[in-house]
Amino acid sequence: MARKKGVPQRAGLSRAEFEQVKALTSSAFEQEQRDEEERRRRLEADDRRRAEEHVKRIRAAAEERNRAAQQRATATLSNGAPTAATAVPLSLNSHLPPQAAPSPAIPLAPAFPAAPPPFYQNAPPSVTVPAPPQTNSLQPQLQPKLEHPPGLSRFAELYVPVWLRRVNADRPQYVVPRSKAEAFSIEYSEVHDALYPPRLIHHLGVIERKNHERLLKEHYGRATSQGRFPARPAPLALAPATYAHHWLPLQQAEYTARALQLQQAALYAVPLRPVAPHPGDPPGPPLYMLEARSIREGWPPVDLGDILNLRQLRPNFQSWQGLEFEASVAGINRAAGEVLLRCDSLMGYQEAMVFNVVWRVQDRIFNEWRRSTELADLYLNSSSILQDGPPAKRRRTAIDSWLFPQSEDVSVHGPAPTKDDLDPEWVDESLNEEQRNAIRSIIWGKQRCPLLLHGPPGTGKTKTLVEAVFQILKRHPTAHVLVCGASNPSTDTLAMRLRSLMPKDLFRLNAPSRPFAEVRGELLPFCHVENDRFALPSMSTLLSKRVICCTVLDASILLNARITNHDLSTLEIYIAGSVHPNNPPPLAKPHFGFLLVDEAAQATEADITCALNAVATDDTRCHRAHVTVCGDARQLGPHIISEEARTHDFDVSLLERLMNLPVYADHPFARRNRSRNPDVRWDLRTTPFVDLVRNYRSAPEILWLPSTLFYHETLLPHAAKSVQQTPLRSWSQLPNAGFPILFHHIAGDDLEIDEGASFYNDAEVAQVRAHILALVRPPADQAQHGTVAPKEISVISPFREQVWRIRLALRAVGLGEVDVGNVEALQGAENRVVIISTVRSKELRWLPVDRAQNRGLIHEPKRFNVAMTRAKELLIVVGNAETLTRDPWWLAFYRLCIRNHCYVGPPVSAASAHEAGHAVSKLEQQYHAERSGSGSASPARKEGEEGAEGDDAEGEEGREENDRAFDLLIGRLVSSTVNEDEE
């Protein structure tokens, strides 16, 4: 390929140089060709042998049938009895002499003689001879009956030529890294120089490096002693002294598991298409378009700034260029399955522009996990914080109290709260008592252990944290608050509700790799942008912000910039010691006095440790900050791929782990203990947690199942009157008028695209559209439910392909405003009407894959809980009941619908679906008790055909009522027993 003008030649990699190298190594090259030819001959010989054995088996089977037929024919002729016409199979090549019979390499069609054999010459007319076949295939009676018939499977793994796989296995001659301009990173040295003396920066760096070297030495020492070197050692039990040695091997296991999983997503021989710049755009770096259909389903996970490895192929030589290029993701179009790449180093090496593409595990996440874990271990095990006295007596640090809280960290004997602590001037007067208790505990701030705020769906967790921020700023005029969310959407929600603080006080910190399209326009004034990327402002500007909002992982940006309580207090003491060397250093005040973490159950402990390290302090130098961890451990948590890591609870969030510690779990006011201690009340000093129990989102019936399955019967329906008495209860499609739940059985086909990259179910798409049309555009005589706008309806489906097909079907009828998304996209959202399309129906073999890739709604209790709790007034489920009831949580939902006559479809065939004893909520029991006590008849049910009348109808209704009463009684006993066992 001719070089472009102005592009420098690069050594050793041009086509001419490749030919020269090949000529110099012709003998080796020819030997490799001979070896390849020998391997090909052996494979062909094996194929020929297997084909001949296959033909022999066919001939043997045909001859056996021929002998049996001849015996039957002979017996018939000897008896002289007429028989029905029988097609007699003949042997293969029976018309040829033995020496002329061919030995084909593949099965051939059987040859039949033009005339019948001699023994048929005197056969009676009732005996017929089969006509010669007209197609080049074996007759059905001649085909061998194999357990797995030969043929093609559309589910088989795609064939990849050996040489393409070998390209990925080869060691590259040189790895061309991406340039600094391509990297989405921050230059922290400039930030450090603006505030810290170089000597102090060096000192802080030395401490961290020595700790890292210590942990690394212990790591390899344990691996060697266990006989596993160079593999990673087994993780130790979790304890303060072994914190890093518990989590670091699991992080390494997760890294390895992700790398192995990404190997399956490698793309072979795919073209890179140069993207022409827009005429109006300024000159910029070259960009290339990569087609990767599977990213439409979020697999493999790819984000802006990620690195991909490219190996350019030379298809004519079945070889490759020898260079591995690092390309940066510059843009993503998930809807089209396209990735925009930037690879400046590819200029000058463009040949066929066909590549093997390898997805890489993104190192940033694991690097931040490792550093935060090592820092936490440093706080937990540093010898510099030993008290005077016996070395065995170590003073508990803030990290000790946050990661391993004990009863001594509960401020039972702390200072009494003031009147301002107990009764501040509320910004939001609609807060309930539980929410106000949480805010009182936060602004009092004397608990040494984290305050856990556990809030089920619709109980106002975020609302409580926002009010807490406003109260902190009023109560502590000089305090700074770090507010973190588990993800960018949850953090944006917090920032949106806090934007009344104005940009001088509120800063939304974003990673440089975050695309602008993801950030709402209202939040851009609260961000800092440089060179078309999010960045850090000047040090003085950053330190002046009273509230900083970021994700828990992006809190590592503050760690790297050394905007942390520990480093800032060290700087303060360093300066004070330099100015007043004879005075003892004062106990510093933390820069961040409060850390509030929302949706903490969705983050790993390593994620949250990044935020904890930003506010951690050395108690001998600085006062402690107050930590509040908020979330719902019964909703979606972190997704961990490694089975080894999951076995050691790497997928358990810090919130969930803390909730199970004795200081929280054994408290008499804990959610699971409250039914046994009805007289215990919440106390500011003795209760380091708050359980929110009042649900303001959903109609009571929608809360029945989540309350008993996940929240120990503690949820209380407090939705507005307009929700509880919604006109949607009069919708004509409800099988039980007035009951706001519908389970519609649809036995459609769940079909895959792109070899299982995603799935769809057209029958469910049609039914979802029909329900939405019946809600939004009902006939005049079926409009009793009032007006429903398209934007008041949300559709949840676990598969992206189904999401797109539902969107297209709705847009085709002018309903594009309906909100359609997967469970993760709608976690935290709510709407008047929620329709769930489960998709999975008949292809049960995909269930293990769904579980491995953390997708679908079956055997996923947390995802099931999230989907079920999004609806406010009406919940509709469309799916195959036979398949769904294989899951115990879906089985409980099916039984609830059967008891309350809101299931449409044939009964499930499984015996367990007809048994009493499934979970029944206390709320459901009270509902039916009230209806029975008031003497009201059972709700009217729409039947497909007219029922019996008179005494027969009354008797049937009585039997149903008795069955339901028995089911309720047994179900309540089961629910109570399960809750007791969990306690």
What are the helix (H) ranges across 87-240?
162-169, 188-193, 198-225
Euclidean distance between CA atoms 261 and 251, whole angstroms: 15
Angle of helix 888-899 versus helix 951-982 axis, rounded to 10 = 150
Q: What is the mean pLDDT of the chain?
A: 81
Find, among 210, 211, 233, 206, the residue nearest to 221 by Cα: 233
CB 354 within 8 A of CB 313: yes
Q: Which residue has the higher pLDDT, 122 or 480?
A: 480
What is the arithmetic mean of pLDDT over 918-937?
75
* pLDDT for res 26: 53
Residues with Cβ < 8 Å from 420, sequence gap 6 or more? 475
Q: Within the chain, how many helices (H) and strands (E) appear? A: 30, 27
Two structure tokens written together for 915: 């048994």
CB 763 within 8 A of CB 746: yes
Q: What tens digit of pLDDT does each residue of 340-362 get?
A: 999 999 988 999 999 999 999 98
**What is the chain's Cα-based Rg?**
35
CB 697 within 8 A of CB 866: no
Q: Count of alpha carbons within 13 Å of 746, Cβ hemisphere only?
A: 25
Q: Which residue has the higher pLDDT, 494 or 953?
A: 494
* pLDDT for res 157: 61
Q: What tens digit of pLDDT does each residue of 517-529 get?
A: 889 999 999 999 9
CA distances from 248 to 242, 605, 932 (A): 10, 12, 59
Euclidean distance between CA atoms 886 and 40, whole angstroms: 48
Residue 833 has pLDDT above 90, yes or no: yes
Does an H or E element contain 862, and which? helix 861-868
Q: What tens digit of pLDDT does each residue of 301-350 get?
A: 888 888 999 999 999 999 999 999 999 998 888 778 899 999 999 988 99
Q: What tens digit of pLDDT does each residue of 633-677 get?
A: 999 888 888 888 988 999 999 999 999 999 999 998 988 888 788
Find, among 457, 874, 900, the residue nearest to 702 by Cα: 874
In the block, tokens 């598969």 appear at 799
Q: What tens digit of pLDDT does each residue of 947-976 get?
A: 444 455 555 555 666 666 656 666 655 555
- Beta strand 354-359 with 506-508 is unpaired
What is the arithmetic mean of pLDDT over 599-620?
94
* pLDDT for res 969: 61
DSSP character string of 933-970: HTTPPPPPB--SS----THHHHHHHHHHHHHHHHHHHH
What is the arithmetic mean of pLDDT over 813-836?
89
Strands (E), 642-798: 689-691, 694-695, 716-717, 741-745, 751-753, 758-760, 793-796
Q: What tens digit of pLDDT does each residue of 362-399 get?
A: 889 999 999 999 999 999 987 543 344 444 456 789 99
Residue 419 has pLDDT above 90, yes or no: no
**DSSP structural state of residue 687:** -
Its sign, for the CA torsion 547, 549, 553, 559, is negative
Its sign, for the CA torsion 777, 778, 779, 780, is negative
Euclidean distance between CA atoms 666 and 674, whole angstroms: 11
* pLDDT for res 144: 36
Q: What tens digit of pLDDT does each residue of 14-70 get?
A: 445 545 544 554 555 566 667 767 777 777 777 677 767 766 776 776 677 667 766
The gap from C-alpha 177 to its chain's centroid, in whole angstroms, comes to 30
Euclidean distance between CA atoms 883 and 764, whole angstroms: 14
Two structure tokens written together for 414: 């702390």
* pLDDT for res 822: 87
Euclidean distance between CA atoms 730 and 736, whole angstroms: 10
* pLDDT for res 5: 36
Say what percent of the chain tops pLDDT 90. 50
Mapped onto helix, strand or coil, the DSSP state of residue 341 is: strand
Give burial (CB, 10 Å; 0-12/13-18/19+) of 886. middle
Q: What tens digit of pLDDT does each residue of 869-910 get?
A: 999 999 999 999 999 999 999 999 999 999 999 999 999 988
* pLDDT for res 973: 57
* pLDDT for res 228: 66
Euclidean distance between CA atoms 866 and 823, whole angstroms: 7
Residue 282 has pLDDT above 50, yes or no: yes
Q: Which of 519-528, 701-710, 838-847 has the lowest mean pLDDT?
A: 838-847
Question: Does pTM top 0.85 for this prediction?
Answer: no
Find, among 66, 201, 193, the residue nearest to 141 by Cα: 66
What is the arithmetic mean of pLDDT over 709-716?
90
Residue type, 307: I
Euclidean distance between CA atoms 55 and 530, whole angstroms: 72
Residue 919 has pLDDT above 90, yes or no: no
Residue 261 has pLDDT above 80, yes or no: yes
Q: What is the 3-state secondary structure (H, E, C) of 44-88?
A: HHHHHHHHHHHHHHHHHHHHHHHHHHHHHHHHHHHHCCCCCCCCC
Residues with Cβ < 8 Å from 95, sequence gap 6 or more? 111, 112, 113, 114
* Residue-wise burial string across 117-139, b where 16 or more C-beta atoms lie within 10 A, e elsewhere: eeeeeeeeeebebeeeeeeeebb
Q: What is the 3-state secondary structure (H, E, C) of 393-440?
A: CECCCHHHHHHCCCHHHCCCCCCCCCHHHHCCCCCCCCCCHHHHHHHH
CA distances from 381 to 110, 241, 373, 384, 566 (A): 81, 6, 12, 9, 16
Q: What tens digit of pLDDT does each residue of 726-777 get?
A: 999 999 999 999 999 999 999 999 888 866 778 899 999 999 999 999 999 9
Beta partners for residue 457, in sequence order: none
Q: What tens digit of pLDDT does each residue of 422-476 get?
A: 888 999 999 999 999 999 999 998 899 999 999 999 999 999 999 999 999 999 9
In the block, tokens 């973190």 appear at 484
What is the arithmetic mean of pLDDT over 131-160?
44
Euclidean distance between CA atoms 772 and 819, whole angstroms: 12
Residue type, 48: R
What are the structural domains of the chain?
A: 28-142 (no CATH), 163-188+254-365 (2.40.30.230), 399-692 (3.40.50.300), 700-912 (3.40.50.300)
* pLDDT for res 6: 37
Say what percent of the chain tops pLDDT 70. 78
Q: Which of 77-81, 120-124, 481-485, 797-801 has the lowest mean pLDDT?
A: 120-124
